[in-house]
A and B are shown apart, each in its own frame.
Chain A
Amino acid sequence: MKDSMLNAIETRLGLSRRSFMQFCAAMAATMGLPKGADAQIAHALVSAKRPPVIWLHFQECTGCTESMLRAEHPTLEKLILDIISLDYHETLFAAAGHQAEAARRASMAANKGKYLLVVEGAIPTKDNGVYCKVGGQTALEMVHECAADAAAIIAIGSCASWGGMPSTSPNPTGATGAPVILKDKAVVTIPGCPPNPYNFLSTVVHYLTFGKLPEVDAKGRPKFAYSRLIHENCERRPHFDAGRFAQEFGDEGHRQGYCLYKLGCKGPETYANCPSILFGDVGSGSWPVGTGHPCIGCTEQGIGFQKPIHELAELKYVLPPVGYPRIVEEQGQGMSAGSAALVAGVGGLAVGAGAVMARNLGKNKKPDDTDFGKE
């Protein structure tokens, strides 16, 4: 890439070129793109025309925006200013009232068929959608109006993706996700409560770089982020395999950092990249399971906020082993005739060799309090 372009990015984003290239490489890595993609991304971010973005807030808590505001490489406001052109965002926008609505309509008309629509929050459908109104318009009316001429649509957070928290039983307002409302449109969903900001950023960057949204699964989720169970990449997984579990918050197993499956961790049935991408830019362990709380399955419809926290997860395909290795081998108990036979058999040893081994094991001293662990 030309120096002049990198100089430009330094002043525009207020990022050193090293940080900028790191960001591009991180985006490429998050999306699992092949070598060289980071350069393509860098090129696109520097030279592509900033796509206009309309960001709608419906039945939500602003948590998705809040979590974006704490992303650091780069921060959302840098992304807003320099990578996308945010033409409408209720929380961050300068204008108020009908001015803001006018700005939204003007941008939609000027950028017909070219703008990116981001939906945050669920859309209530009960009683003609009276439970959420923006500028006198229901969320239902507004999302149809804004989706009609959008180039692409991203639903950020579980609420926009599948209804989220407000849609759980008894769903008092008929809260519904954007893909169900916008049946005839392709909607990329980034579920999570809140979702990881980098999954959203990566999706936008993919769109900028390659002119299309990333490959998605049957639920509209980018495959780069949602194709693995949490359980597969969890740092506590060895404890699961070894049968070491926390039973209660604050018990010995919990303090030892054991597996949280028996506290109701939904990692075994939840698809997301939380354990590998982490939250909050503070390094290892910075995600719910890392800090000692079971996964609540916030990305998954029917699990997040619906299944009780302490209900055991359904084990999808990662099953616990039939038998567990022992955690602490008692020393010097000698070998029982049965286990000696097992050792001999398993090892495929001759009976004689097995007998020798059994005899050797039997020579170990019987432990007592004074010399336990010394040997």
Chain B
Amino acid sequence: MSRLVIGPFNRVEGDLEVTLEAADGRVASAQVTAPLFRGFEQILIGRAPLDALVIAPRICGICSISQSVAAARALGQALGVTPPPNGALVADLLLAVENAADHLTHFALFFMPDFARSDYAGRPWHAEAARRFAATAGQSAREAMAARARLLHVVGLLAGKWPHSLTLQPGGVAKSVDLGERVRLGQIVADFRRYLERNLFGGSLESLTALDSFVALEQWGERHGDSDLALFLRLSRDLSLDSQGRGVGRFLSYGGITGRAGLWCDGRVAPLDLAGLREDVSHGWMQGGALHPAQGQTRPDADKPMAYSWSKAPRLDGLSCEVGALARQAVSGHPLIADVLACGGWQGSVHDRVVARLLELAQLVIAMEGMIAALSGEGAYCREHGVPGRAEGAGLTEAARGALGHWLRIEDGVIAGYQIVAPTTWNFSPRDADGNPGPLEQALEGTLLEPGASPPLMVQHIVRSFDPCMSCTVH
């Protein structure tokens, strides 16, 4: 048995350490550590309820709109107000833009640069990977950043700035959209579509989203050999990424822009019931027991024995779940993802996570176009509301990285409880009281530790395939 500590983990959002126990050249067990704690849930206590709109989203500078959506929905439920149709459309559009920008950033800046490393020199695809994705220098990475910056103009127009945009309210949005702005929004999204079709996919979004099997996807890669997607499919085949990083096989989604809510297991979707949700703190530096987030507490204890992370461990009916684009696509039953999952024994893999994300990128752009067309010059963008002295609310949404929930309790006119369960809290959770590992910890088990690059490259691919956001995980 030997022990390997990997940290700091670069090109993930925030701070991460991974400790591996190795035996016979493979990972015997893994521990995932979130080494940063800020105490947002404590800071929120005693504040004016609407201040959550400013405080809670600041846990994360890469999915702040998702956090704003969750906070606004939790407040909306507590206050008994929902946005008018135009307000809901603008909120959805902002969320879709952020999710798309995050997917692209992950692919171009965080995930693909690993394949440009000299450790892979000699592989038939390496020169191409280096040309396109070498960290901070690759051609495709640059084009992706330019396209992303242009897409985020949508947020500039509708919400002033990004990250930490301020427009979202429980009753809608602070910005109404006039005809000229609608035309500009349409042009921005059209530019983004052009980039995706020319560079990333090499073909139309509609034909990509119409793919329905693993084989059809491979054929796409051969037909559009000059695209970034084709490069990924080539190297994925060569490295057998479809058999790496097998997950827990339980996928949870709250239903995002492109899908529905549910729990997927062994190819079947069950309706989602969050009554059995608990945040276990047995291996986190936290006091207390496993509680539902509506009753949850955050009491840090840095000296707790056996603990190894600031992260809590969310479990649904005692079981860990994987969340993210793959989970959304599985629950929504997209034929391509259903087939890809079936080929991999219903567990998911590095390959599947990346494919699901790219597929969703195409779906999101099609959805954005529909939203902009549906915006109307007539009608309100925001409804007025009061603030009750006592109320509760839950705000559920899907960030790029997966299921995100905020649970809020108002007493005596101020916030008495606020708990956030973020996507990477699910995926990168530590062990629970029964000793069951979190999804990443399980996905790393059994990974072959090839001599050479340190930290082992396959471990890095598996970790990054989840697109972790550590800032969200612990807040």
Are A165's CB and B10's CB within 8 A? Answer: no
Binds A, one of B147-155, B215-223, B335-343, B441-449: B147-155
Q: Identify A310's interface contact among B36, B50, B302, CB under 8 A.
A: B50
| Bound Cα distance A82, B300 (Å) | 43
Contact B10 A282 (CB under 8 A): no
A281 within 8 A of B: yes
Asked if B38 and A131 make an inter-chain contact with CB atoms under 8 angstroms apart, the answer reads yes
Task: A298 to B152: give the CA distance in the assembly, Å.
Answer: 21
| Identity of the chain A residue whose Cβ is nearest the Cβ of B113 in the assembled complex | A94
CA distance A294 to B471 in the complex (A): 26
CB A141 to nearest CB in B, in angstroms, measures 13
Write the nearest CB–CB distance from A177 to chain B, whole angstroms: 14
Residue contact B11 to A132, C-beta cutoff 8 Å: no
22 A-B residue pairs with CB within 8 Å: A14-B142, A57-B15, A61-B58, A70-B152, A92-B11, A93-B10, A94-B117, A94-B136, A96-B6, A97-B6, A97-B10, A101-B8, A124-B37, A131-B38, A131-B302, A135-B7, A168-B43, A173-B39, A280-B156, A282-B153, A291-B158, A310-B50
B454 and A172 contacting across the interface, CB-CB below 8 Å: no
Chain B hits for A135, CB < 8 A: 7-8
Which residues of chain B come closer than 8 Å to A95, judged between CB atoms? 10
Indicate if the CB atoms of B166 and A132 lie closer than 8 Å. Answer: no
B300 proximity list for chain A (CB < 8 A) = 131, 172
Q: Given A80-B136, A134-B35, do A309 and B302 touch, yes or no (CB 8 Å)?
A: no
Which has the most chain B C-beta neighbours within 10 Å: A193, A281, A292? A292
Q: Give Cα A279 to B164, complex, Å.
A: 12
A97-B8, A131-B37 known; A77+B384 contact, CB < 8 A: no
Q: Which of B113, B136, B155, B162 contacts A86 (CB 8 A)?
A: B136
Say whether A99 contacts B58, CB under 8 Å.
no
A62 within 8 A of B: yes
- The interface size of chain B toward A, counting residues with CB under 8 Å, comes to 81
Residues of B with C-beta under 8 A to A173: 37-39
User: Does A178 count as interface, using CB distance less than 8 angstroms?
Assistant: no
Q: What separation, in Å, do the CA atoms of A292 and B380 have in the docked complex?
A: 14
A250-B384, A288-B160 known; A90 vs B10 contact (CB < 8 Å): yes
Q: Which residue of B lies closest to A248 (CB)?
A: B384
A171 to B43, CA, bound (A): 7
- A interface majority secondary structure: loop
Contact B35 A72 (CB under 8 A): no
B121 interface residue, CB < 8 Å from A?
no
Q: Given the interface contacts A130-B302, A310-B48, does A249 sit within 8 Å of B8 by beta carbon?
A: no
10 A-B pairs closest in CB distance: A63-B61, A280-B156, A172-B39, A250-B382, A94-B135, A292-B174, A61-B61, A279-B161, A282-B156, A293-B166
**B contacts, CB < 8 Å to A:** 5-15, 35-40, 42-43, 47-48, 50-51, 53-55, 58-62, 64, 105, 109, 113, 116-117, 134-137, 141-142, 145-146, 148-149, 152-153, 155-167, 169, 171-176, 300, 302, 310, 380-384, 454-455, 460, 471
Q: Which residue of B lies closest to A168 (CB)?
A: B43
Report if A67 contacts B (CB, 8 A). Answer: yes
Complex Cα distance A80/B40, Å?
32
**A52-66 near B? 1/0 per residue, CB < 8 Å:** 000001011111111
Q: Is the C-beta of A267 less than 8 angstroms from some C-beta in chain B? A: no
Q: Which residues of A contact B7 (CB under 8 A)?
A: 97, 134-136
Nearest CB on B from A82, distance (A): 11
B50 and A280 form a contact (CB under 8 A): no
Give Cα A304–Cα B176 distance, bound, in whole angstroms. 26
A197 to B50, CA, bound (A): 28
- What's the minimum C-beta distance from B454 to chain A, rounded to whole angstroms? 7
Q: How far is the CB of A69 from chain B (nearest CB, A)?
A: 6
User: Bound complex: CA of A131 vs CA of B149, how far in Å?
Assistant: 33
- Using CB atoms, name the residue of chain A closest to B156: A280
The answer for the CA separation of A67 and B380 in the assembled complex, in Å, is 30
A166, B64: Cα distance in complex, Å: 16
